[in-house]
Amino acid sequence: MTVVLKLGGSVITDKETPETVDDDALTAAVDAIADADPDRLVVVHGGGSFGHVAASERGMGRTTGSRDAADVWAVHDAMRRLNDAVLDRLHDAGVPALPVHPLSVAARTEGNELSLPLDSTARLLGEGFVPVLHGDVVGHAGSGATIVSGDELVTRLAAGLDADRVGLCSTVPGVYDADGGVIHRITDVASVEDALGDADATDVTGGMAAKVRALLALDATAYVFGPASLSAFLAGESAGTVIDG
Amino acid sequence: MTVVLKLGGSVITDKETPETVDDDALTAAVDAIADADPDRLVVVHGGGSFGHVAASERGMGRTTGSRDAADVWAVHDAMRRLNDAVLDRLHDAGVPALPVHPLSVAARTEGNELSLPLDSTARLLGEGFVPVLHGDVVGHAGSGATIVSGDELVTRLAAGLDADRVGLCSTVPGVYDADGGVIHRITDVASVEDALGDADATDVTGGMAAKVRALLALDATAYVFGPASLSAFLAGESAGTVIDG
């Protein structure tokens, strides 16, 4: 049973204050992971007030790059500080976490296609470690370096590692319908298209509709849920909105 | 013209004192790189008093691994501290350096074969950045994680990136013959076999004979030289011992 878990940047950081970890939320998430002690787990975390702030200050996005190494380093280093905080907590809780930095392994073609060789992640997973990836900067042909989002990594990891379950833990309890209720199950985009606007307009890395489309395309069953349902998800139960194409 | 440059751990650190950068030596090497301003350069650095100490304290080597994430993290983190120091200097000198951590990208099979996908390194290089790799820990099938040396990375990078020149800057001015003189040119192992013992018995990542054998197998011309010849090497001149199979 291979599980890919995304911890949203909004969950583990205080998005209002630059470079601030939300201690209570991160501790709760880490405790849930340590208690579940899953067999094969890959964790991905977003940028929150670390990466998003650093990237937007420099005008960098998924297709807008920078050729200035100082810009690229600043965004990467901010994400690394958050990654270090996540790793520290996981280690304190006894989770055998090791970092996998997308800048070191991934690259984009001129046509925005992401290559993400999984040799390291798959091997670490096979040896009982918990690889921890994060939104990052990556080399981009013709554009210097651009942003790769945690969500983009999640779908690539799920497909490449043949994951069984994918969990997206964000600050909302699931995907909302037009009336603000949580949709229980999504099996195709068309049936919920009206409700899927940009759930979070300040998130430059893509809205909910794009996320749902990418998750529907996976073989794995995906779950979009809030922090309160993380333990249930890790225990193999249903949580939030089930997305199963 | 693609150049792969290894800065030996003994050159840039004080090998006698744990986790100590040799400031003068590192500054001199960085200044030589900044002055040369090479077109396509990949830098690899060794572990010196950072990685070697951390690895030997934990009994880790190229084939002896650890399944304890605390061990693996300790060695990686020590190497990252050295890598940060190297990157800081390079940035201060205006070199557009970015880190590529082997733990994030490489893996070993049960038979000790190293996979090192070069998507990220090649893309960063193509976009005008200077990728900086280092000796590190990597996931190893059946052994947890083991050590990958800077020298091993150099030969893999040189072959995979189709490098034109490879430079190994160490504390000696070249490969010594049996009388302690520097050999000018090596074109086959047999002709110098007697002289090639273990130049540095405390270096767990392989002696000079193994290095020469690996360099002879490359299409690129390799140079083994001391810090005083770094500028000459980067200027495209001959330096130290030329190894050309």
Which pLDDT belongs to residue A211?
85
Give pLDDT, residue B52.
87
Residues A158 and A164: their CA atoms lie apart, in Å, by 8
Asked if pLDDT for residue B126 goes beyond 90, the answer is: yes
Three-class DSSP category at A134: strand
Is B236 annotated as contributing to ligand binding?
no
Q: How many domains, chain B?
A: 1
Residue numbers in A near B130 (CB within 8 A): 69
Given a cut of 90, whether residue B37 has pLDDT beyond it is no
The more confident residue out of B140 and A210 is B140
Q: What is the overall mean pLDDT for chain B?
A: 93
Residue A35 has pLDDT above 80, yes or no: yes
Task: Specify which residues B98 forms β-bridges with.
Answer: B131
Position B197 confidence tier, pLDDT thresholds 50, 70, 90: low
Nearest-Cα residue of chain B relative to residue A66: B127
**How many whole angstroms separate alpha carbon A234 and alpha carbon A242?**
14
User: For B108-132, what is the mean pLDDT?
Assistant: 97
Chain B residues within 8 A of A138 when measuring between CB atoms? 120, 123
Determine which of A51-65, A130-144, A199-213 has the lowest per-residue pLDDT on average. Answer: A199-213
What is A162-211 written as a DSSP string? T-SEEEEE-SSSS-B-TTSPBPSEES-SGGGGGG-S-S-TT-TT--HHHH
Nearest CA in chain B to A108: B123
The reported pLDDT for the residue numbered B195 is 66
Q: Quote the pLDDT of residue A199.
A: 46
Using only C-alpha atoms, chain A has a radius of gyration, in whole angstroms, of 17
B52 marked as binding residue? yes
Q: How far is B60 from chain A (nearest CA, A)?
A: 16
Q: How buried is residue A39: exposed, middle or buried, by Cβ count under 10 Å (0-12/13-18/19+)?
A: exposed
A115 φ/ψ angles, rounded to the nearest 5 degrees = -100, 130
User: The CATH number of the domain where B62 resides is what?
Assistant: 3.40.1160.10
Supply the range of the domain harboring residue A239.
2-243
ipTM of predicted assembly, 2 dp: 0.94
Which residues in A have their CB inside 8 Å of a CB on B?
67-70, 72-73, 76, 87, 91, 95-108, 115, 117, 119-120, 122-124, 126-130, 138-145
Could you give the CA distance from residue A83 to residue A241 in angstroms, rounded to a whole number?
27
Does residue A55 carry a pLDDT above 50?
A: yes
Cβ pair A141:B123 closer than 8 A: yes
What's the DSSP call for residue B74?
A: H
pLDDT tens profile B207-238: 777 788 899 999 999 999 999 999 999 999 99
Nearest chain B residue to A138, by CA = B120
- Of residues B11, B1, B77, the one with CA closest to residue B44: B11
Lowest-confidence range among A16-25, A164-173, B183-192? B183-192
Kindly state the tokens that stand for A124.
């670490």
| Residue B137 and residue B103 in contact, taking contact as beta carbons nearer than 8 Å | yes
Residues pairing with B60 in the sheet? none
SS3 content of chain A, % helix, strand, coil (to 5): 40, 20, 40
Contact A103 B107 (CB under 8 A): no
C-beta atoms of A69 and B129 within 8 A: yes
Whether residue B127 and residue A144 make contact (CB cut-off 8 A), yes or no, is yes
Using alpha carbons only, how large is chain B's radius of gyration in Å?
A: 17
Residues near B19 by beta carbon (within 8 Å), at least 6 away in sequence:
B13, B49, B50, B53, B78, B81, B82
Q: Which of B90, B92, B98, B104 to probe the A interface (max A CBs under 10 A)?
A: B104
**Closest chain B residue by Cα to residue A69:** B96
- CA distance, residue B180 to nearest chain A CA (Å): 40
How far is B218 from B62, CA to CA, in rounded Å? Answer: 22
Q: Choose the weakest-confidence range: A192-206, B18-32, B103-117, B145-159.
A: A192-206
Q: Does A207 count as an annotated binding residue?
A: yes
CA distance A196 to A187: 14
pLDDT at B189: 82
CA separation for the pair B31, B35 (Å, rounded): 6
Residues from chain A that touch B126, judged by Cβ atoms under 8 A, are: 139, 141
CA A64 to chain centre: 20
CB pairs under 8 A between A and B: 132
A33 contact residues in B (CB cutoff 8 A): none
B111 has binding-site annotation: no
| B133–chain A nearest CA distance, Å | 9
- In the predicted model, is pLDDT for residue A84 greater than 70? yes
A173 in helix, strand or coil? coil
Percent of chain B with pLDDT over 90: 83
Of B69, B97, B117, the CB nearest to A129: B69
Q: Answer whether 0.90 is exceeded by the pTM.
A: yes
Q: Is there a contact between B145 and A128 if contact means CB atoms under 8 Å apart?
A: no
Say whether pLDDT at B182 is over 50. yes
Average pLDDT on B63-79 reads 97
